[in-house]
Structure 1
């Protein structure tokens, strides 16, 4: 046994106090989790919302005096009294090769139309399939998230031959790489996170499509477009969140060709109407291809209706 975890459940008003007490006592790390099943929606800039009831978990080295079970249990009782915790408990964590432990949780995923997502440390179960070889690194996009799967399924149903695609909010680059493996001629991938740009380039190399994919931070992409006149493009895939999607509507309209398609993902049902209102001045909803899960919507550009 290498680690002791101290868990405390308390109201969000007492979280700061409990967190400070854990740090003062020598906790190596502190995690915060929802104590119930309360959704948190997108925060405004500068906000860091918490759930009404929070579970704090402090990690201690069991090989030290302060990390022994008796010491951690005593500490938990002291913090619970001061932070008015409703319950406390301990758990042990065995020491593992943590650099590789996360890999055990990933396995190949079969998507629609013989498209697979395969971790790069696993042999593809179907070598004749279209296999996307992925290592997500620190970026979003393993293929396990519902919105990513829906986008992959949609891409697998399209005729992407010789198409130019923008993957906006590319994360690991999984959607852009998929588009190229499915026949696209060129992909421009964009993300606000430099780690995502790095992961996208690495995954493009893993799939031998690096010559057809370029990844950018948003400001660099804007400069690149102005210098190289690469727009309009045929397809935009944007698997992000409702608020940035709403703000990007006019910009996306400048990037897409008439009769081109834009796929918006990362929504919950209550946000679809607001996103729809933002895009209707530039795009027409294609109900034939709307996802029944209502997490995502597909939009098709109306020729001649763009007002710039």
Structure 2
């Protein structure tokens, strides 16, 4: 994977927020793998093998009257992802008790200190959806609970779950970069109860969990909801994110179809996270 050629799109976005967040979400649906936010907008990367001339044809925000967006793109050979992230990755603290930082940042004075090398993987805690998922994990009892972190990205949510006493934990992502990065971050944080798995919902066959965390996107969540419901133990908890306020009705309808009961909503800059129980 490290020697693959990528195409980098440099987007200038005005106004920056929520323009950048909406653009990143739509680009993610289109197949872009990694994003680096800049002062002017965002740089989005996609493997050249996955690229086509119509890759932006379904990006609705580009046709929106609410935002001015321009872009250029270029072929990029062997990107130094560490260097890219080090230039743009600042530590974050959630609710004054959990810090997510890189190894080159100073150690904080917080209860939970998660050290990650994000590379290309989604899930640094900066994005609203990851931030809200961290909040859910912090405020719920995970001690000795079995947990699934679906679409684990960097593994940050699985790592925090172990710090909160959860075990065993499966961290699953279909992307090879995320799979390898999660393994590194699990080891970096001295976690002993996390198994990282490369794959999609098909790897969950015959597995069950007390808590399922799925921070992906609306379409994948809707497609895989039946699988999540079948894997959730009695009185289990399902935490969902990766979608907007306007997506709540269709998400909730699909959950209720599988006897999952809505409990709570978190909202952050138009993104939402929902908690369901069975």
TM score, norm. by length of structure 2: 0.73
SS across alignment from 1:296:
strand
Name the CA distance, whole Å, in 1 between partners of 2:266 and 2:81: 37
SS across alignment from 2:257:
coil
Match of 2:254 among 262, 265, 278: 278
> Deviation per CA, 1:44-88, whole angstroms, max 9, x where unpaired?
89864342375233679xxxxxxxxxxxxxxxxxxxxxxxxxxxx
Distance verdict in 2 for CA 1:99–1:135, change over 3 Å: closer
Name the CA distance, whole Å, in 2 between partners of 1:131 and 1:168: 22
- Given that 2:175 and 2:199 are in contact with CA atoms closer than 8 Å, whether structure 1 keeps it comes out as no
Displacement of 1:296: 1.3
Distance verdict in 2 for CA 1:273–1:98, change over 3 Å: closer
Name the CA distance, whole Å, in 2 between partners of 1:274 and 1:134: 34
Give ranges in structure 1 of 5+ residues lacking alignment. 1-28, 61-96, 302-308
Name the CA distance, whole Å, in 2 between partners of 1:260 and 1:98: 38
Match of 1:268 among 236, 244, 262: 244
- Given that 2:81 and 2:119 are in contact with CA atoms closer than 8 Å, whether structure 1 keeps it comes out as no
Give ranges in structure 2 of 5+ residues lacking alignment. 1-6, 32-53
- Within the alignment, does 1:242 sit opposite 2:234 as a pair? no
Distance verdict in 2 for CA 1:44–1:141, change over 3 Å: closer
- Within the alignment, does 1:290 sit opposite 2:259 as a pair? no
Q: RMSD in angstroms over aligned alpha carbons?
A: 2.9
Give every structure 1 segment of 4 or more consecutive aligned residues whose post-TM-superposition deviation is greater than 4 Å.
34-47
- Given that 2:82 and 2:119 are in contact with CA atoms closer than 8 Å, whether structure 1 keeps it comes out as no
Displacement of 1:107: 2.7
Bigger proportion of residues as strand: 2
TM score, norm. by length of structure 1: 0.66
Distance verdict in 2 for CA 1:280–1:118, change over 3 Å: same
Name the CA distance, whole Å, in 2 between partners of 1:215 and 1:98: 21
Displacement of 1:146: 0.8
**Within 5 A, what are the aligned runs for 1:27-176?**
31-33=9-11, 36=14, 39=22, 42=26, 48=56, 49-50=58-59, 51-52=62-63, 55-57=70-72, 100=83, 102-112=85-95, 114-126=97-109, 129-176=111-158
- What does residue 306 of structure 1 align with? none
- Given that 2:118 and 2:154 are in contact with CA atoms closer than 8 Å, whether structure 1 keeps it comes out as yes
Name the CA distance, whole Å, in 1 between partners of 2:114 and 2:86: 16
SS across alignment from 1:141:
coil
- Within the alignment, does 1:232 sit opposite 2:208 as a pair? yes
- Given that 1:111 and 1:149 are in contact with CA atoms closer than 8 Å, whether structure 2 keeps it comes out as yes
Name the CA distance, whole Å, in 1 between partners of 2:158 and 2:164: 10
- Given that 1:30 and 1:56 are in contact with CA atoms closer than 8 Å, whether structure 2 keeps it comes out as no
Name the CA distance, whole Å, in 1 between partners of 2:162 and 2:81: 33
SS across alignment from 2:70:
strand
The structure number with the bigger radius of gyration is: 1
Distance verdict in 2 for CA 1:198–1:44, change over 3 Å: closer
Displacement of 1:117: 1.0
Name the CA distance, whole Å, in 1 between partners of 2:8 and 2:181: 27
Distance verdict in 2 for CA 1:30–1:217, change over 3 Å: closer
Distance verdict in 2 for CA 1:243–1:125, change over 3 Å: same
